[in-house]
A and B are shown apart, each in its own frame.
Chain A
Amino acid sequence: MNNKFFHHALYFSKETCIGCTHCMRVCPTQAIRVRNGKAELLPNRCIDCGECYRVCPVDAVKVEQDDFNLIYNYKYRVVLIPGVFLGQFPEDINQQQIYSVLIELGFTHVCEVETGAEILKSVMADYIDENLHIRPMISSFCPAIVRLIQVKFPSLVNHLIPLKQPLDIAGFYAKQLLIKQGAEQDEIGVFYITPCAAKIAAIKSPVGETQSVIDGVINIDFAYNKVLTIIRQSKSKKFPSAKESNLSPESILWALTTGESSVMRGRSLAIDGISNVIEFLEQLENEEMSNIDFLELRACDESCAGGILTSSNRFFTSERLRNRAKSVQHPAERNENDIHNFREYLSKHFSIEKIKPRSMLKLDENIGSALEKMKKVNELMEILPYVDCGICGSPTCQSLAEDTVRNETEISRCIFIQRILEQKGTFTNEESVKIMKEIWGEGKLDKDLK
C-alpha cells in the first residue's frame, strides 16, 4: 500500500496551541486529535481545506509560505495573481496601481491566473463531451476537493477530470512567452499569490503529476498587506501605467461559484462549502446521477473569494469581480503574445495522470480483519455515551472507538467510562487525573480553586 508522506501546507504551532477542540470539531475528515494538550494532524487524512485555520481562537494553525526573497533567484520573476487578489482591494484602488506596485516589489512580470481559463474552458468542455461514459464529471479545480474525494470518496476518483487547472496553464504560458522573448528556462521563476492552503499543497505535492510548473507561493494576506501599504503610503505618487488585462468575463469569474458550471455545456451544478460538497458526494455515491454532466465543487463558501488566507469579506470580493466582468468591453483585442497563440504548445501539457484513491476510512486492508475490528468498534459504541464531547482527544465517540481498535488510544480516555469504572471501584481518581493530563497536558488540571 502506498504510504508515502503527504505534504501539507497547514501545521500547528505547538507553542501557540492552547489545546482547545475547535479545530478537531470542524475538521471534515477527522484528521485532528489532541495529545499532551496540543492539536496533532493525521497527515493521511488532512486535505488542506483549512477549516481548522478559520476557527482557531489563537492563530495556532499556520500556513507555510516561501521566503519572499526566493524570487531573486531568478532573472525573470513572474507573479501569477488570481482574480480574487485584485478583488481584495477597495474600489478606489485600480488594477493598474496594483500591477505597478507588484513590479515595484521586485517582480518583472505580472500575469493573471485566469488567463489559463481562456484556453481551459474549451478543452474541458470537449473532454466532458468525449467521455460520455463517465457522468457526472467532476472538476479538479479545487485541490481540497480532489483530496477529499481521494480520501473519503475513493469510488468517485474516476469522475475527476484529469486536466491541469488555469494556474498551471498560466504558469506554462508565462514561461513559454518569456522563452519566446529570449529568456532561458532556468532564468524564469513563476510565483503564485495563493488564497488558500490547498493550492500550496497542490503545488508542493501535486496529484497526478511529478512536479509543478510553479516555483514558489506567496500568501494572499501577505501580498495584500504589502501592496496596500505601498499604495496608501504613496497617495500622491503617479504609478506608471501597466497594461490592462484582456480577460473575458467568463475567465474573470472562473474562480467564483458557478464560474465553471455556467460555461460548461449540458446540465451542470455548482456547489460550494465543504459540508455541502460532502453531503452531495454521499448522495452521488448512492444513486446513479447519469443525467448530470458536470459538477463544479469548491471547498470554500463563495469559492476562492472565501479562501482562508483572504482579507476582504468574501461577498465584497465576489461583487468586485462580478462588476469587473460586467465592465469588460468585448471582443478584447488579441496580439501576438495572446495565450490563444500558445494553444498548440500548451496542449502538450494539459493532461495529468489518473488520480488514485487513498481511502482513510478502511479499518484494515483485509476484509476479514476489518470486519473483526468493526465488531469491536460496535461493541465499544454500546458503552460510549454518544456525546461527542472531544474530552478524550478524539473528535467523536465513533472516532474514539475506531482509534482504540487501531491501538492509537485507549477507551479509558472517555470520562464517562472513567466514571463508570469509578462506580465499580476498579478505577481511582489518580488514574483518571493521569489520563486527563496525558490528553490535555499538566496545565489544565493544575489550577488553584478558591
Chain B
Amino acid sequence: MMEPMHLQYELEGGNFTKAGFASSEIKKVLKQLNVDAKTIKRIVVSSYEAEVNIVAHAYSGIINAWIDNEKIVLHFNDKGPGIPDIEMAMQAGYSTASPAVREMGFGAGMGLPNIKNNVDLLEINSEVNKGTLVKFTIGLTPEMN
C-alpha cells in the first residue's frame, strides 16, 4: 500500500467568494493523476457541496484530503452550529440556511443529499453548538465504484 498524498485547505465562514477554491484545487490534482472525468465530477460536486456547507453555516473549517492509487478520502471539519437532526438534513429540500444565504443562490437543501448520491462511503458526526465532521470516500478507478 502506498503512502497517500495529503492536501489541506482552510475555510472561513461567510466568505462565499472563496467557496469552491479547495474543490477546484483538488480537481486540478485529480486531472493530473489521470482520474477519469466522471469520477472527477463526482468528487468535485460533493466536495464543492461540503465546502459551501461550511461557508454557509459554520464559522471556520478545515478540509483534509488523502489520495492514494485507489481512493480519495475527504474530511470536512468545521466549528459551527452543528446539525441537530442529521437524518432530516439528509432529506432533499430540507434546509436551515438563512434567507440571506438563500438570496445568494445557496441553501436549497440539496447539499448533503447531493453528497450522498455522489460518494461511495459517507459518515457525518455533529455536535450542536460545536461543529460538524463530514467524512467521505470515493474510489478513483471505475471498477471500485
Contact = CB atoms under 8 A, between A and B. Distances in A.
Interface of A: 154-155, 282-283, 285-288, 357, 359, 361-368, 370-372, 374-375, 378
A286 B141 contact: no
Contacts of A371: 2, 5, 33, 67-69
Interface in B1-42: 2, 5, 20, 23-24, 27-29, 31-35, 37-38, 40-41
B48 A286 contact: yes
A367 B141 contact: yes
B33 A370 contact: yes
B9 to A, nearest CB: 14
Q: Which of A285, A364, A374 has the most CB of B within 10 A?
A: A285
Contacts of A285: 27, 40-41, 44
Contacts of A368: 2, 69
B34 A359 contact: yes
Given A367-B69, A368-B69, A286 B32 contact: no
A359 B69 contact: no
B140 interface: yes
Nearest to A365: B34
Given A287-B48, A362-B32, A370-B32, 20 more contacts: A285-B27, A285-B44, A286-B20, A286-B24, A286-B27, A286-B48, A287-B20, A361-B32, A362-B34, A363-B33, A363-B34, A366-B34, A367-B69, A371-B2, A371-B33, A371-B68, A372-B2, A374-B5, A374-B29, A375-B5
Contacts of A363: 32-34
Contacts of B2: 368, 371-372
A362 B32 CA distance: 4
13 contacts: A155-B37, A155-B40, A285-B41, A285-B44, A286-B27, A359-B31, A359-B34, A362-B31, A363-B34, A367-B33, A367-B35, A370-B32, A374-B29
Interface string B130-145: 0000000000110000
Nearest to B4: A371
Contacts of A288: 45
Contacts of A282: 24
A211 to B, nearest CB: 29
A358 to B, nearest CB: 12
Contacts of A367: 33-35, 69, 140-141
A367 B31 CA distance: 10
Chain B, interface size category, equals: 20 to 34
Given A286-B23, A361-B32, A371-B2, A154 B37 contact: yes
B38 to A, nearest CB: 8
Contacts of A365: 34
B34 A155 contact: no
Most A Cβ at <10 Å: residue of B27, B34, B37, B140: B34
A362 B44 CA distance: 17
Nearest to A362: B34
Contacts of B31: 154, 359, 361-362
A363 B40 CA distance: 16
Contacts of A378: 5
B6 to A, nearest CB: 10
A397 to B, nearest CB: 15
* A-B pairs with lowest CB-CB distance, top 4: A155-B37, A368-B69, A362-B34, A370-B33
A288 B110 CA distance: 12
Contacts of B28: 361
Given A285-B27, A286-B24, A287-B48, A370 B41 contact: no
A363 B69 CA distance: 13
B133 to A, nearest CB: 23
Nearest to A363: B32
Contacts of A364: 34
A380 to B, nearest CB: 14
Contacts of B5: 371, 374-375, 378
Given A286-B24, A287-B20, A287-B48, A362 B33 contact: yes
A155 B40 CA distance: 8
A365 B40 CA distance: 15
Nearest to B40: A155
Nearest to A152: B31
A361 B45 CA distance: 20
A357 B38 CA distance: 13
A283 B23 CA distance: 10
Contacts of B40: 155, 285
B32 A374 contact: yes
A349 to B, nearest CB: 29
Contacts of A361: 28, 31-32
A92 to B, nearest CB: 50
B109 to A, nearest CB: 15
Contacts of B33: 362-363, 367, 370-371, 374
Between B5, B29, B31, the greatest number of chain A beta carbons within 10 A of the residue's beta carbon is seen for B31
Interface in B37-83: 37-38, 40-41, 44-45, 48, 67-69
A357 B35 CA distance: 13
A361 B30 CA distance: 10
A361 to B, nearest CB: 5
A365 B67 CA distance: 16
